[in-house]
Amino acid sequence: MTDTVPDNYRPEQVEAKWRARWAERGTNQPDLDRATRPFYNLMMFPYPSAEGLHVGNMFAFTGSDVYGRFKRLQGYDVFEPIGYDAFGIHSENYAIKVGLHPAELIPRNIANFRRQLERVGGMFDWRHALSTTDPSYYKWTQWIFLQLLKAGKAYKKKAAVNWCPFDKTVLANEQVEGGLCERCKTPVEQRFLEQWFFRITDYCDRLLANLDTLDWSDTTRTAQRNWLGRSEGAEILFAVAGGRTVGASAASTAQPPNRPIAGISVFTTRPDTLFGATFMVLAPEHPLVTRLTTPAQAAAVAAYIEAAASKDLVARKVGDRDKFGVPLGTMAVNPATGREIPIWIADYVLMEYGTGAIMAVPAHDERDFAFARKYGLEIVRVLSPERVDPASVPGNAALAAAETETAGYVLVNSGKFDGRTAEEAKRLITADLAAQGKGKPVVQFRLHDWCISRQRYWGPPIPVIYCDSCGPVPVPEKDLPVILPPIEDFRPDDSGISPLARHEEWYYVPCPTCGRRGRRETDVSDTFLDSAWYYLRYPSSEFDDRPFDPARTKKWCPVTTYIGGNEHAVLHLLYSRFLAMVLKDLGHIDFEEPFTRFRAHGLIVKDGSKMSKSRGNVVIPDEYIAQWGADTFRMYLMFLGPLQDGGDFREAGINGPRRFLDRVWLMVTEAEDGGELQKSLVVRWHATRKKAAEDIDGLRYNTAIAALMELVNAMKEAGSRDRAIIADLIVMLAPFAPHFAEECWERLGHTTSVFDARWPAWDEGLVVSEEIEVPVQIGGKTRAKIQLLRGSDEATALALAKGEPTVQKFLEGKTIRKIIYVQDRLLNLVIG
């Protein structure tokens, strides 16, 4: 035993010590009422699965935590909460699979998640941890439902909904991907059920317009824009030939047989092609079908409708199948040509889109073309790629249907509009129709109202009571929460009725209005309602008498920076925005955009392929943390690539960051005061302060870490053990390796947390004077230029070059065969 040997870096001990110290000192607990520079650093709260946190979660949380810690070092009061999104089908299905009750399973999972989250070293304020399954939380989820109900923003209707036969529940459109249930990948069916909806479509214009003002990742904004799906077009009224009811015998007694039909309304984004509309197609469910069917066609139509009803929505949406249909026997009048055109029904037209009826333009629409060919219907070309003499265009030219772009097209066979460009004609024809009262310009969105009811057990009961005398009655706010009763048999069945209906003592309840026996709503609300407002609850989680305290909300909201996965771009992020707008309109909050800045992080893959259970390549962080320590693992993950790109997890790389920390540990042990510093080292020192700050702010953690490594190399080259530089290095490392930095900080003689220190300022002039531009050549040609500090090494140059989009483009799918680096002059990459 000798005391000249410095004690080695032992992550286990260091990390346990600082976890305890943080809890003791309240290091991660900002004063929520008196903070002067509040910074709300939010990450997407996890669904607590039985498997525990996987490496993808950890990558996302660490990425957000690094940012929060950096902001704290810049002097902000950073609030970084965490919680559990623990209701929903995921949890319930897993409980069913393992034969446990979710009420038993979920607390276990949460305990495990909490242990893991603490071990990872996030700057979490545990005082404000929450779970959506806690009655003190879902009381307010139910309260929010009631506010929307009172404001007329929630309603119930029978609707065609997506039904997952495996999960035995309704899915929102957003939860259907390519016709499959996003959870279990089962083909989704169509069902008609009574459902609760939120009127998100009332907010389409605002949801779209605000996107331009948000500091969000472009990919996320684009996803929302596409999902909202704004299209400009026209609503056009096609009169029924004869202008009267036909097929009175087929019309049911429900409707007076002789009331004239005003016409059949269609929405089209292509009014310029109206002259080419040679038939109409209605969805089989269209309300006019019966009245438009002639007696001769009644049997065929009835048979067709029956067949269509047994088909699922997905099969109907698939574009490349054979199109079948039946004519109703009635004619409509094309309002432009005045010609009579036949009316058909076909299941490729869906009631839920537009008006449930289309004008078919077979010359310029692929599906209509296929349909016309199959049934020998007329095809009239009305668009031509160039200006031609209309007389030379044959009336029945069957065209390839690919002509969907309007650019460069002019109208033919379109009367007085011949020769107009398609773009001009859209406006002119719509205006012409409007003048005749046969149409009007219409803006349409693809977004539908948000179906929030689920016929399942594991969610907050929707707070409504049905009374035979009073109808649906909202549960009075004083009676909230409506507690989810503990029932043994929580499994869903195929009836479409929630399991809660089987629980009699809970189901029957006095009507709040008249006191007679009423029945509770047995549907629970969608998990996405839980998560649409959780950011409002965090700062106010200790208040039982209000969902969010006005003063706290004013101080901390909207969220300053939100980092999360883009898979939630059109679900969670859209719903949260909608709900904030409603709450603002109702006077509960004073902002309408909940997340000022949003950044989508990338994904972690393993050895080049996506992690999945079926591949067996899911990385569980625990074993790595046990072996290497949380700090090394954090650094490793953040070193994989820019946060927004994600990275490839290859075990071989982990010892690199660990060796680096070992080296810094030794430097701290050997730190010396005073002494003259070489100019080049001073420049490097300042440049590192600047570069690491800018890179962390831009979420380019990999290059920030590379800069810190380079500073260490420069010190070694200069033979320096300067205490001031080492102290700076520790501060700059702190966001990545928080326990390690705290321990080093203490060993350098400080008695307070390293997170009470400030990010060091730099001398801009000094840095700029030493910056040079170095060309990056690929295959002998200059493709980009990078800003380097004089004397930078190859690794730094390469890391910077790889961050350039143009370089990335050239490297995609290629391997770098050779790197030629001439310091301060040139980086040349040979690829193959």
- Please report whether residue 683 would count as binding Zn ion according to CB under 5 A: no
Peptide bond between residue 335 and the one before it cis (omega within 30 degrees of 0)? no
In angstroms, what CA-CA distances link 611 with 311, 451, 648, 770? Answer: 35, 31, 10, 43
Total residues in contact with Zn ion, by rule CB under 5 A? 13
Question: CB count, 10 Å around CB of 408?
Answer: 12
Q: Which is nearer to Zn ion, 164 or 581 (CB)?
A: 164
Contact positions with Zn ion (CB under 5 A) in 461-490:
467, 469-470
Q: Which is nearer to Zn ion, 465 or 800 (CB)?
A: 465
Residue type, 779: G
Considering the complex, what minimum distance in angstroms separates the CB of residue 471 from Zn ion?
A: 8
Q: Which is nearer to Zn ion, 351 or 509 (CB)?
A: 509
Considering the complex, what minimum distance in angstroms separates the CB of residue 89 from Zn ion?
A: 7
Question: CB count, 10 Å around CB of 265?
Answer: 16
Is residue 265 within a helix (H) or strand (E), and if so which, with residue range?
strand 264-268
Considering the complex, what minimum distance in angstroms separates the CB of residue 557 from Zn ion?
A: 34
C-alpha triplet 155, 157, 159: angle, nearest 5°: 135
Considering the complex, what minimum distance in angstroms separates the CB of residue 753 from Zn ion?
A: 47
Q: Which is nearer to Zn ion, 434 or 509 (CB)?
A: 509
Considering the complex, what minimum distance in angstroms separates the CB of residue 183 from Zn ion?
A: 5
Tokens of 105: 């399973």
How far apart (Å, rounded) are the C-alpha atoms in residues 55 and 633? 10
Q: Which is nearer to Zn ion, 514 or 772 (CB)?
A: 514
**What string marks each residue from 328 to 367 as x (binds Zn ion by CB under 5 A) or -?**
----------------------------------------
**What string marks each residue from 632 to 671 as x (binds Zn ion by CB under 5 A) or -?**
----------------------------------------
Pinpoint the alpha helices (H) of 376-486: 422-435
> For tokens 């009836």, what's the residue?
495
Q: Looking at 86, 144, 172, 181, which residue binds Zn ion (CB under 5 A)? A: 181
**Applying CB under 5 A, which part among 121-129, 443-451, 504-512, 633-641 lies near Zn ion?**
504-512
**Applying CB under 5 A, which part among 33-41, 369-377, 505-513, 601-609 lies near Zn ion?**
505-513
Q: Are 85 and 132 in contact (CB under 8 A)?
A: yes
Closest CA to 456 of 122, 164, 795: 164
Is residue 65 within a helix (H) or strand (E), and if so which, with residue range?
helix 55-73
Considering the complex, what minimum distance in angstroms separates the CB of residue 346 from Zn ion?
A: 28
> 258 burial class (0-12, 13-18, 19+ CB within 10 angstroms)?
exposed
Beta bridge partners of 359: 280
**Applying CB under 5 A, which part among 185-193, 291-299, 687-695, 766-774 lies near Zn ion?**
185-193
How far apart (Å, rounded) are the C-alpha atoms in residues 299 and 286? 17
Considering the complex, what minimum distance in angstroms separates the CB of residue 109 from Zn ion?
A: 21
Q: Which is nearer to Zn ion, 98 or 407 (CB)?
A: 98
How far apart (Å, rounded) are the C-alpha atoms in residues 627 and 771? 40
Q: Which is nearer to Zn ion, 165 or 257 (CB)?
A: 165
Q: Which is nearer to Zn ion, 180 or 618 (CB)?
A: 180
**Applying CB under 5 A, which part among 265-273, 506-514, 557-565, 757-765 lies near Zn ion?**
506-514
Q: Which is nearer to Zn ion, 399 or 470 (CB)?
A: 470
Q: Looking at 21, 90, 101, 183, which residue binds Zn ion (CB under 5 A)? A: 183
Q: Which is nearer to Zn ion, 156 or 597 (CB)?
A: 156
Considering the complex, what minimum distance in angstroms separates the CB of residue 614 from Zn ion?
A: 17
**DSSP type of residue 27:** T
> For tokens 């143009």, what's the residue?
806
In angstroms, what CA-CA distances link 196 with 607, 686, 782, 796? Answer: 45, 59, 59, 56
**Applying CB under 5 A, which part among 176-184, 393-401, 580-588, 788-796 lies near Zn ion?**
176-184
Contact positions with Zn ion (CB under 5 A) in 507-536:
511, 513-514
Q: Which is nearer to Zn ion, 469 or 782 (CB)?
A: 469
Residue 628's Cβ-side half-sphere holds a number of Cα atoms within 13 Å equal to 26
Q: Are 774 and 742 in contact (CB under 8 A)?
A: no
Considering the complex, what minimum distance in angstroms separates the CB of residue 528 from Zn ion?
A: 15
In angstroms, what CA-CA distances link 545 with 481, 549, 640? Answer: 12, 9, 46
Q: Which is nearer to Zn ion, 452 or 734 (CB)?
A: 452
Q: Looking at 20, 111, 151, 184, which residue binds Zn ion (CB under 5 A)? A: 184
The alpha carbon of residue 423 and the mean position of all alpha carbons in its chain are separated, in whole angstroms, by 34
Q: Are 203 and 177 in contact (CB under 8 A)?
A: no
Q: What are the phi and psi torsion angles at 687 (to 5°)?
A: -65, -35
Question: CB count, 10 Å around CB of 165?
Answer: 15
How far apart (Å, rounded) are the C-alpha atoms in residues 371 and 698? 53
- Please report whether residue 166 would count as binding Zn ion according to CB under 5 A: yes
Considering the complex, what minimum distance in angstroms separates the CB of residue 514 from Zn ion?
A: 3
- Please report whether residue 180 would count as binding Zn ion according to CB under 5 A: no
Tokens of 314: 């997905």
In angstroms, what CA-CA distances link 18 with 630, 813, 823? Answer: 12, 43, 42
Considering the complex, what minimum distance in angstroms separates the CB of residue 823 from Zn ion?
A: 57
Radius of gyration of the chain (CA): 32
Considering the complex, what minimum distance in angstroms separates the CB of residue 196 from Zn ion?
A: 20
Q: Which is nearer to Zn ion, 370 or 511 (CB)?
A: 511
Tokens of 350: 């869906």
Considering the complex, what minimum distance in angstroms separates the CB of residue 381 from Zn ion?
A: 44
- Please report whether residue 167 would count as binding Zn ion according to CB under 5 A: yes
How far apart (Å, rounded) are the C-alpha atoms in residues 696 and 710? 16
Considering the complex, what minimum distance in angstroms separates the CB of residue 741 from Zn ion?
A: 45
Q: Looking at 86, 164, 667, 681, which residue binds Zn ion (CB under 5 A)? A: 164
Interface with Zn ion (CB under 5 A): 164, 166-167, 181, 183-184, 186, 467, 469-470, 511, 513-514
